[in-house]
Amino acid sequence: MRFLSTFIQKPQILATRRTYTLDGKLTGHCGPVLCLSATDDGQLLASGGTDGVKIWNLVTKRRIPSPEGAGSRGATTAILFISRSDDPDEAIIYGTQTGKLAFEESYTFSLAGASEITTLAFDAVAGHLGAGNRSGNIYLFSLDVDMNLKIRFSVMLQGVTPKSLAFSNKGDKKEPQLLLFSLYDGTLYTLNTTDGNVENTKVLVNQIGNAAVDVAKNVFCIDDPGQGIALYRFDGTRLKNFPVKEEKPRPRPRQVNFAEGFKLIVCGSDHGVVYVFDRRKEEVVDELHTGNHNWIQTILTAQTDGQHFILAAPSHDTDKNTDILVWRKRDSRTIGMQMQRKYLQYFIQIMMLGATLAFLIQNGAQMLGSQPSSMVTDLPITRSMKQTPQRVLATERTRIPRKAELVLP
């Protein structure tokens, strides 16, 4: 087995199309990472998992002081950086496995049902915070200028498991609408943000693993765990499909995100690969291998200082240390310079090979032209070949007459 193990190729951390490159690892979590959120400027990252919340500086790849660990609240299952449009300060709000909604460690609110908080969404313009838990309870809060939360409404939708929430400003609507993507019935619910009434429902697929919304483009994409990623308009029209292969027998949900200003769609997988799709061409532009074949549900896209990033973390059950991988888009100048260096290396190698061949041919011709005889006679094996036929002929000449004398009477 030890002999065979040397020939078994272990998964590597690499980008097969080299559109992105590994920029670093964020080391510090123990156990699965369940949620990620970045600030609008991409400078800070908040991550949540079975061991609580951690905050990182994405520029230096270093961890900064964070809230307390999981404790009695359980695993952190949803996390969000929030800030009002009229206030540059940002705060962290997160939900836990036991149904607790924590706000900067100084405010905790228990949602009804005491079940896992599955999703959070924030509207910076209206100052609305939406939250949903596995029991089907939907809450809407208002965030005032002093960063205080006040509940606006709470409703329970029977048979609904919220997987993603998003806010949508629809034309002449003064109040934004709350979009709810339900896991097990594959339905999109549109709620009024005044009282929580359901204004519209649209069955999309059998199940929805995750969703990402682009309000400006009037589109959203969802993860269909049984097929792949699907792109829709807000009216429910299905526009495009992006198949994602599965290697495990049971479908698993994957987080999905838009990237690079709606040009790309990014999703995880059940086999350790993050897929990057070109939205317009409907083709894979890169595959980011995380170094294992485990479930990658948790992903995030971010942008800082004009650079694009993709973050991914393992989501399978484990008690080992887990890293958050940070991938950076390779800019065209870097790619061009690397291609030039590559072609230059090829050119130099060809020139060296040509010079070597020319040297061998030239020196070989000189040796053949200047010493033709010595090259033949100096070889021992050649001398023996010259002498051997002479001895054989002499022997034959002496034996033939004797044989002839015996034959004649």
Q: Which tens digit of pLDDT belongs to each residue from 10-63?
A: 678 889 999 999 999 999 999 999 999 999 999 999 999 999 999 999 999 999
Confidence at 332, pLDDT banded by 50, 70, 90 = low
Q: Residue 321: pLDDT above 70?
A: yes
Task: Find, among 95, 98, 155, the residue nearest to 119 by Cα.
Answer: 95
Instruction: Return the structure tokens found at 221.
Output: 């994409």
Looking at residue 202, the DSSP 8-state letter turns out to be: E
Q: Which residue has the higher pLDDT, 47 or 341?
A: 47
Q: Which residue has the higher pLDDT, 314 or 5?
A: 314
Give all strands of the β-sheet with 298-304 in edge-to-edge order.
20-30, 321-329, 307-313, 298-304
| Domains by residue range for the chain, with CATH | 11-330 (2.130.10.10), 337-407 (no CATH)
Per-residue pLDDT tens over the stretch 150-179: 999 999 999 999 999 999 876 555 678 999
Per-residue pLDDT tens over the stretch 136-150: 999 999 988 777 889
What's at 238, amino acid-wise?
A: R
Is the separation of the CB atoms in 301 and 258 below 8 Å? Answer: yes
Phi, psi angle pair for 376, to nearest 5°: -95, -50
Concatenate the DSSP letters of all residues of 229-292 into one string.
Answer: EEEEETTS-EEEEEE----SSS-----EEEETTTTEEEE-BSSSEEEEEETTTTEEEEEEEESS
Stated length of the chain: 409
What's at 239, amino acid-wise?
A: L
